[in-house]
Amino acid sequence: MFKKLLLFFLTATILSSCNKREPDYDVAVHNINIVDLKTGKIIPRQSVFINADTIHSIVSTKDLLISLARKSINGTDKYLVPGFWDNHVHFRGGDSLIAENEHLLDLYIANGVTTVRDAGGDLTSSVQQWQKEIASGENVGPTIYTSGPKIDGRRARWPGSLEVFNDKSINKALDSLQALNVDFVKLYDSTISGENYLKTIENAEKRGMITSGHMPSTVTVEETTQAGIDAIEHLYYVLKGCSLEEVEITNAVKDRKLSFWSSLDKVMQTYSDSIAQIEFDRLIAADVYVVPTLYIGHTLSFLDEYDHSYDGYLTNNYIGPGIQKTYDGRIKSALNAKPEFIKMRKKLDSMFIQLTGKLNTAGVGLLAGSDSGAYNSYIYPGFSLHLELKALVDAGLSPLEALRASSQNGARFLKKEIPAIKAGRKADLVIIEGNPLEDIENTQRIYWVFKNGESFSQKSQALLKSN
């Protein structure tokens, strides 16, 4: 386990060199700038004391007389932020990839991602085992919130999905998710009918479950928000809701005159800012989050132009050979795509970037999610969340808004305590080497990561090398 190699203990000479007393704290971080995501302010020159997995106390470093800690870290010119949340990841690929999926847990921690929202897969029992092992300290990894298997229709696209096709099967699927005690329900759109999709959301909401999903092209955003959905993954569907002809396009898909992909040209041509505003107001009124997943959208749209074969995550085998193999499907379809399709995807990519800025300006809640996991080519677990944060800023969010879309909104969506750097709160923390409010790319400059009472130094690359 890499943590054993990496925990490097700085001797606590700063304040306690002549003292034989037992240390009062496990870790002290001195003279650090705390990034307060609630107020958007930097609180300079603080000393933060951590015991086990909890922040014990915080005092101004200049008021400090003496403190004993097993490990003291000099935080001068560095910044302390709540651990990052990646609000859309996957653990999947079948039993033969369980070990490689487990290995991804290290990549999240190495990149300061201390919590992930697993948006469905076929490894639920492994995921639930890791949850237990991580909580008990037997394993290193992020806190995982999971949907368990996805819900879809008959002969669903993803293995392991729960197939719903009538009221009985909807009830059965939701019963089984409740028995698994999942954190939310994830709906997918490969074969589910619009009617069963809406019924599943309504039924899940009645049971008090949190819902998120793709949307079948056969339903409108209005129907979906009315059914009670809590988050919409990706932007295809939200963009369709901005069309002057959303209902006509939806009916054309229902009548099989248009497919999902062929409908998108029409969707783009009929985009209307005034319709968009009505949709944004509807999303805000219904408290629906949107998960733009801009970075993966961009990466997949430009597979024809970029050669990823020298990416360090591949050449250093941070991504195992089995998962690398799952990248082939999307690579092949990109290589075989017709020029018109490639052009359409690139246009869609730029519309998604603009749409994200508009959603944010309107006040729609956004979640930062990478969609990393097997099958999603070149979206590397952990690091891709930082690239999503950058993509969100490039789309018009302030760095503060992007950071909030990670940990703060992630927790709010799942109805968990909002992460904050305060005494008594969980010490899921990351020290970074630059001010993230000035430049979002500073989130990539990881110095220390604190998770479940353990601390990991130093830079993410150093962590990765020993995997």
CB of residue 465 vs Zn ion: minimum separation in angstroms? 29
C-alpha–C-alpha distance, residues 215 and 234, integer Å: 9
Tell me how many residues contact Zn ion (CB under 5 A).
2
CB of residue 187 vs Zn ion: minimum separation in angstroms? 12
Q: Which long-range contacts (CB under 8 A, 24 or more apart) does 356-360 make?
A: 356/235, 356/292, 356/294, 356/392, 356/395, 356/396, 356/397, 357/395, 357/396, 357/397, 358/273, 358/276, 358/280, 359/238, 359/280, 359/283, 359/290, 359/292, 360/395, 360/396, 360/397, 360/401
> By C-beta, is 2 or 158 nearer to Zn ion?
158
Question: φ and ψ at 6, to 5 degrees?
Answer: -105, -20
> By C-beta, is 243 or 384 nearer to Zn ion?
384
Other residues' Cβ atoms within 10 Å of the Cβ of residue 93: 22
CB of residue 86 vs Zn ion: minimum separation in angstroms? 11
Tokens of 243: 């069309």
CB of residue 90 vs Zn ion: minimum separation in angstroms? 6
Q: Does 163 bind Zn ion (CB under 5 A)?
A: no
- Residue ranges in 116-135 that form contacts with Zn ion under rule CB under 5 A: 119
> By C-beta, is 195 or 328 nearer to Zn ion?
328
CB of residue 315 vs Zn ion: minimum separation in angstroms? 25
| Structural element, H or E, at residue 253 | helix 246-254
- Residue ranges in 392-421 that form contacts with Zn ion under rule CB under 5 A: none
Tokens of 441: 């790319």
Report which of 296, 310, 303, 306 is spatially closest to residue 334, judged by C-alpha positions.
303
CB of residue 300 vs Zn ion: minimum separation in angstroms? 12
Q: Does 152 bind Zn ion (CB under 5 A)?
A: no
> By C-beta, is 119 or 134 nearer to Zn ion?
119
> By C-beta, is 37 or 116 nearer to Zn ion?
116
- Residue ranges in 365-384 that form contacts with Zn ion under rule CB under 5 A: 371
> By C-beta, is 48 or 379 nearer to Zn ion?
379
CB of residue 246 vs Zn ion: minimum separation in angstroms? 23
Q: In what order do the strands lie in the sheet with 162-163?
A: 162-163, 151-152, 185-187, 211-213, 231-233, 289-291
> By C-beta, is 78 or 234 nearer to Zn ion?
234
Alpha helices in 47-123 (DSSP H): 98-110
Stretches 22-30, 236-244, 335-343, 363-371: which one binds Zn ion (CB under 5 A)? Answer: 363-371
How many CA atoms are closer than 13 Å to the CA of 218, on its beta-carbon side?
Answer: 16
Stretches 25-33, 279-287, 364-372, 403-411: which one binds Zn ion (CB under 5 A)? Answer: 364-372
Query: By the criterion CB under 5 A, which residues form the site for Zn ion?
Result: 119, 371
